[in-house]
Structure 1
Amino acid sequence: MVRIAELLAYPLKSNDGVAVDRAELGPKGALRGDRSYALVEAGVDPHEASVGGDGGYVNGKREPAVHGLGASYELADGPDATPTAVTLDRPDRPVTGIDADERRFALPEDREALEAWVGEYLGYAVDLVREPDGGLPDDRAAPGPTVVSRATLATVAAWFDEVDDAAEMRRRLRPNVVLSDCPAFFEDRLFTDHGEAVRFFAGDTPILGVNPCQRCVVPSRDPDTGTEIAGFRERFIRKRRETRPTWLDSDRFDHDFRLMVNTVVPGASRGDTVAVGDSIAVGDAVSVDEA
């Protein structure tokens, strides 16, 4: 039986994740606390900005130095990955008067101190923005938890000599839900054509698989240093084409630089809790209007 092997949230968008045993599905469907904070260029409205490489978010798509920041979190109680504090560390660099290379920030109280500390590291002013209810996902049309299988991570890691193992590939791809006891590319069963979604169940909770995630430059970079694998995209596309399941026939899979599944959580499922060990059962295709 397919099960949830790992649940991961990324409380500070584009920074390190944290594993949790269980998580509530929040008001917009994301794991509660996931991407609840983000860094943007000073003055940027996070709700209007694009998450692309030139949209104003301080993310791996546009700022390789983000990979040099390490983050660990203190979390709220309950099935909630909202951070009450974050400890950041940055690579050794000349300090110009603000602080050393590691510092703990209470959230949201130390927002201004965090902005100054990170801004010094990056060399330009940033704002720490907060969206406590729905988070700040990349796919605003499908903001539910992203899903991939552990076997997929291991298979894709093996395509690249520069990637150590499935755990490193997970850090590069940044999923919320990792499945076990299933073959590679099982998650490709969780989407179908435009206008439809695949209803699947995490325990008793229905979730809608909508589209395969379009990848960007981030998986090509070492998650700690930002060093990029030469020819990553080309090799990924070639291997993805070679290993594409024969049954995968979806007009949403319009090119081979896609991996992982974006989801929508129906309104009735929001507030439910999903947990490591929950079984996964795949249902039928339904209209996306049912979200």
Structure 2
Amino acid sequence: MAELRRIATHPVKSLDPVERETARLVEHGALDGDREYAMVAAPADAPHDPETASVGGRGDYVNGKRTALVHRLRSTVDPDAGTLTLREHGTGEPLTFDLDDRSALNAWLSDYFGEPVSVRRRPAGGFPDDRQYAGPTVVSTATLREVASWFDFDLDSARRRFRANLEIGGVPAFWEDRLYADRGEAVAFRVGEAELLGVNPCQRCVVPSRDPDTGEGTPGFRETFIRRRRATRPEWLDSDRYDHDFRLMVNTSVPERQWGTTLRVGDEVEVLGVRSLSA
């Protein structure tokens, strides 16, 4: 039986995940607390529009696409205390910053990255990479294990490299490729009491190729990934959205009527069928 095996949210976009037993679907279909904060490549008094900001390699966000230094930061958010604790991997003592008054945090990050950086907050829907399909991202545990075996790293490393929100257990590798169809269509699936729409296989970037602790790149990652993905591509996969082999994980959309629904680890997952994306 397909079931929700793991829920992970990232309180600060591009930084460390938090594993959870439950999460609620909120505005735009995001999970509550996911990517609620983001590091922006601009001073604190500079404007930032999350609806138009770029997540590309030299875009508006300070993320793994922009700099490998992001990977070296270990982070913990305490939502009750309203604090963010940071530590550079392998060096230094942890430093704790106030998330309401972020002046000290912005100064430290600007010094660390060597450019003006400020942390912004967006409690309603967060800062998703895919603004059009901003629901939780989905992958199977078996897929992550399979991809990890291609490069001789472990499941935890695969999780931190690919950064999915929802992990499905009890299914074979690449099962999540069942969760999208052709352009203009979506695949409806139920997780517990919530109905989500699988839309698009996620196009990968440089981030999964890097060690999630050190930022060190894996030689030949893209070429090996494409070759192995092509060799293991399910025979039944027939979607014009899958237009190249550097794709893994599924982006989703969540109908507004489902906002407020809670997902729980252990929820049964059921594929309901193809729907029109405009419906």
What is the alpha-carbon distance in structure 2 between the residues aligned to residue 106 and residue 284 of structure 1? 46
Aligned length: 275
Deviations along 1:131-167, one digit per CA (max 9) or x if unpaired, are 1101101111110000000000000000013x2x122
- Tell me the CA shift for residue 101 of structure 1: 4.1
Over residues 236-270 of structure 1, what are the superposed CA-to-partner deviations in whole Å (9 max), with x where a residue is unaligned? 00000000000000000000000000000001100
| Cα distance in 2, alignment partners of residues 263 and 235 from structure 1 | 27
Tell me the equivalent position of 1:52. 56
Alignment partners' CA distance in 2, 1:140 and 1:190: 19
Q: CA deviation at 1:46?
A: 4.4
Letter matched to residue 71 of structure 2? H
Q: Deviations over 1:71-111 (max 9, x none)?
A: 012135xxxxxx83211112477xxxxxx64211232x231
Would you say the 8 A contact 2:4–2:264 is kept in 1?
yes
Instruction: Tell whether the 8 Å contact from 2:25 to 2:263 is kept in structure 1 after alignment.
Output: yes
- Structure 2: runs of 5+ lacking an equivalent: none
What letter corresponds to residue 240 of structure 2 in structure 1? Answer: D
Which structure 1 residue ranges, 4+ long, deviate > 2 Å from structure 2?
A: none
- For the pair 1:123 / 2:117, whether they are aligned, the reply is no
Q: Note if contact 1:44-1:56 (Cα within 8 Å) is conserved in structure 2.
A: no
State the distance in 2 between where 1:24 and 1:91 align: 31
Distance in 2, Cα, partners of 1:110 & 1:233: 41
Structure 2: distance between partners of 1:110 and 1:15: 19
Letter in 1 for 2:205: C
Q: Deviations over 1:202-232 (max 9, x none)?
A: 0121100000000000000000100000110
> Following superposition of structure 1 onto structure 2, how do residues 1-291 of structure 1 map, counting pairs within 5 Å?
1-42=1-42, 43=46, 45-47=48-50, 48-75=52-79, 84-91=82-89, 101-107=93-99, 109-161=100-152, 163=153, 165-290=154-279
Distance 1:234-1:32 versus aligned 2 partners, 3 A rule? same
Distance 2:184 2:212 in 1: 35
- Matched residue SS, 1:11: coil
Q: Distance in 2 between matches of 1:214 and 1:271?
A: 28
Identity of aligned residues (%): 52
Q: Do 2:137 and 2:249's aligned partners in 1 also have CA atoms closer than 8 Å? A: yes
Deviates more, 1:28-37 or 1:83-92: 83-92
Give the TM-score, by structure 1 length.
Answer: 0.92
**Letter in structure 2 aligned against 1:4:** L
Is the 2:143–2:174 contact (alpha carbons within 8 Å) kept by the matching residues of 1? yes
Offset from partner CA, 1:31-83 (integer Å, 9 cap, x none): 0110010001113624222101011210000111011110012135xxxxxx8
TM-aligned CA distance change 1:101 to 1:125, over 3 Å:
farther
Moved more, 123-132 or 187-196: 123-132
Contact 2:193/2:263 (CA < 8 Å) preserved in 1? no
The question of whether the paired residues in 2 share the 8 Å contact of 1:39 and 1:126 is answered with yes
8 Å Cα contact 2:109-2:118 kept in structure 1 = no
Structure 1 spans left out of the alignment, 5+ residues: 77-82, 94-99
TM-score, normalized by length of structure 2?
0.95
In 2, Cα distance between equivalents of 1:177 and 1:191: 16
- Listed one character per residue, the Cα deviations across residues 180-214 of structure 1 (whole Å, up to 9, x for unaligned) are 11100010000000000000000121100000000
> Aligned partner of 1:72: which letter?
T
